């Protein structure tokens, strides 16, 4: 991903992380880890097994993977390990891939070669319902992870733009205690059109309840609040808001709003009187990737917030990407979110 996920300096994240783990433990979904020999992934899976968070499936040479799990202190027999290079088991995956890609010129020989790629094998396992989601990206690029997911799983119904969110656990800034804010999209779509911004907001709003546990209140951010300034960027945000309202009329949404108007009640009353979102927003839709990525890093470093993510959104089933700088704790977090997003 464009950005690395990791904890900030403050303690605001602890309740959120504990809540993620508790809810994931109650669901116990099956999650595949295609990078089964990555040391950070193995450390994370050992913790996942000890805490009974998800049911992990690791892809890799079974002997080496089980030995590594044992060195991490995990029971190697408690984890399913699949050898993606075992050709005798490939036929159903080859057939699945041919159904998906034969119209693009993929033939059987090409499909047999592609399903040997652990990312493709993992994504096909998700598509076939053998597992509920996947987590990869510690040693593969975002492009590689997303290509496999888009090829094999595809976008969710009504969504044409795959994007991402960071879940920012912050301290009390509104007098209501620690909170979790959704920042979207800070990792995938550089310069979204109004239609893409609406897709991003729809996906983020739909993910809010399963990941955080509350209802979304969506603010489309800008350097302008309700016409206080003008420009192409403002016009794009205003159009995106209208498209969003057409698609999810039941979700409170407003824009264009400046950051303070979206987050601080007194400012929201002055700048956007009568808004049901101003001063109360918990899903922040940034006008472009640059703004979101810069802001997430500033909040993480200056406010001591913790960033969980980036979490891929807009897919039919969850296939999440890690930063290649991810720590084992990040892998655990993303696995728990993947479990919560699974059908």
Residues 138, 58 share a domain:
yes
Residues 170, 147 share a domain:
no
- Give, in order, the Cα–Cα distances in Å from 261 to each of 222, 280, 283, 288, 304: 10, 9, 13, 19, 22
Percentage of residues of the chain with pLDDT beyond 70? 96
Please report where in the chains the tokens 């492009």 appear, as a residue.
143
Residues 136, 103 share a domain:
yes
List the one residue out of 165, 167, 202, 163 whose CA is nearest residue 181. Answer: 167
CATH number of the domain that 320 lies in?
3.40.50.10950
Distance CA 141, CA 38 (A): 14
Phi, psi of 136, deg, nearest 5:
-155, 175
With beta carbons less than 8 A apart as the criterion, state whether 222 and 264 touch.
Answer: no
- Structural domain includes residue 6: no
pLDDT at position 1: 53
Residues present in the chain in total:
343
Mean pLDDT by groups of 10 residues along the chain of 343 residues: 44 74 94 96 95 96 95 92 89 91 82 91 96 95 92 92 95 93 95 97 96 96 93 95 97 97 96 96 97 95 90 96 89 96 93
Q: Which helix H or strand E contains 201, and what residues bound it?
A: helix 194-212
Q: How do residues 13-67 score in pLDDT, each as one tens digit?
A: 478 999 999 999 999 999 999 999 999 999 999 999 999 999 999 999 999 999 9
Phi, psi of 183, deg, nearest 5:
-110, 125
Residues 114, 220 share a domain:
no
Provide the residue range defining the domain that includes 327: 13-158+316-341
Residues 200, 110 share a domain:
no
Residues 337, 298 share a domain:
no
Residues 201, 130 share a domain:
no
Residues 125, 28 share a domain:
yes
Q: How many domains does the chain have?
A: 2
Distance CA 57, CA 34 (A): 8
- Structural domain includes residue 39: yes
Q: ω before 25 within 30° of 0 (cis)?
A: no
Residues 289, 236 share a domain:
yes
- Structural domain includes residue 4: no
CATH number of the domain that 215 lies in?
3.40.50.10750
List the one residue out of 108, 107, 134 whose CA is nearest residue 120. Answer: 134
With beta carbons less than 8 A apart as the criterion, state whether 305 and 168 touch.
Answer: yes
Helix orientation angle between 328-341 and 39-51, rounded to the nearest 10 degrees: 60
With beta carbons less than 8 A apart as the criterion, state whether 13 and 328 touch.
Answer: no
With beta carbons less than 8 A apart as the criterion, state whether 308 and 333 touch.
Answer: yes
């Amino acid at each position: 991903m464009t950005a690395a996920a990791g904890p900030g300096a403050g303690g605001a994240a602890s309740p959120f992380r504990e809540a993620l783990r508790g809810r994931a433990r109650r669901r116990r979904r099956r999650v595949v880890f295609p990078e089964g020999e990555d040391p950070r992934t193995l450390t994370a899976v050992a913790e996942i097994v000890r805490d009974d968070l998800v049911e992990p499936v690791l892809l890799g040479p079974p002997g080496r993977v089980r030995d590594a799990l044992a060195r991490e202190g995990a029971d190697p027999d408690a984890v399913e390990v699949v050898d993606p290079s075992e050709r005798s088991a490939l036929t159903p995956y080859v057939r699945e891939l041919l159904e998906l890609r034969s119209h693009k010129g993929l033939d059987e020989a090409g499909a047999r070669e592609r399903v040997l790629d652990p990312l493709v094998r993992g994504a096909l396992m998700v598509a076939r319902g053998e597992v509920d989601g996947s987590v990869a990206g510690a040693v593969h690029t975002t492009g590689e992870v997303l290509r496999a997911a888009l090829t094999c799983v595809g976008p969710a119904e009504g969504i044409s733009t795959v994007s991402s969110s960071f879940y920012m656990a912050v301290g009390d800034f509104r007098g209501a205690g620690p909170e979790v804010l959704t920042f979207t999209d800070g990792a995938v779509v550089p310069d979204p059109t109004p239609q893409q911004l609406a897709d991003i907001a729809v996906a983020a709003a739909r993910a809010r309840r399963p990941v955080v546990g509350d209802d979304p209140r969506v603010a489309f951010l800008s350097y302008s609040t309700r016409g206080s300034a003008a420009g192409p960027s403002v016009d794009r945000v205003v159009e995106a808001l209208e498209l969003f309202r057409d698609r999810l009329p039941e979700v409170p949404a407003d824009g264009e709003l400046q950051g303070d108007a979206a987050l601080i009640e007194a400012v929201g009353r002055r700048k956007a009187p009568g808004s049901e979102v101003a001063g109360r927003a918990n899903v922040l839709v940034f006008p472009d990737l640059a703004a979101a990525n810069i802001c997430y890093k500033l909040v993480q470093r200056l406010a001591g917030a913790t960033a969980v993510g980036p979490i891929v959104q807009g897919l039919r089933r969850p296939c999440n990407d890690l930063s290649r700088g991810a720590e084992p704790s990040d892998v655990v977090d993303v696995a728990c979110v993947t479990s919560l997003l699974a059908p």
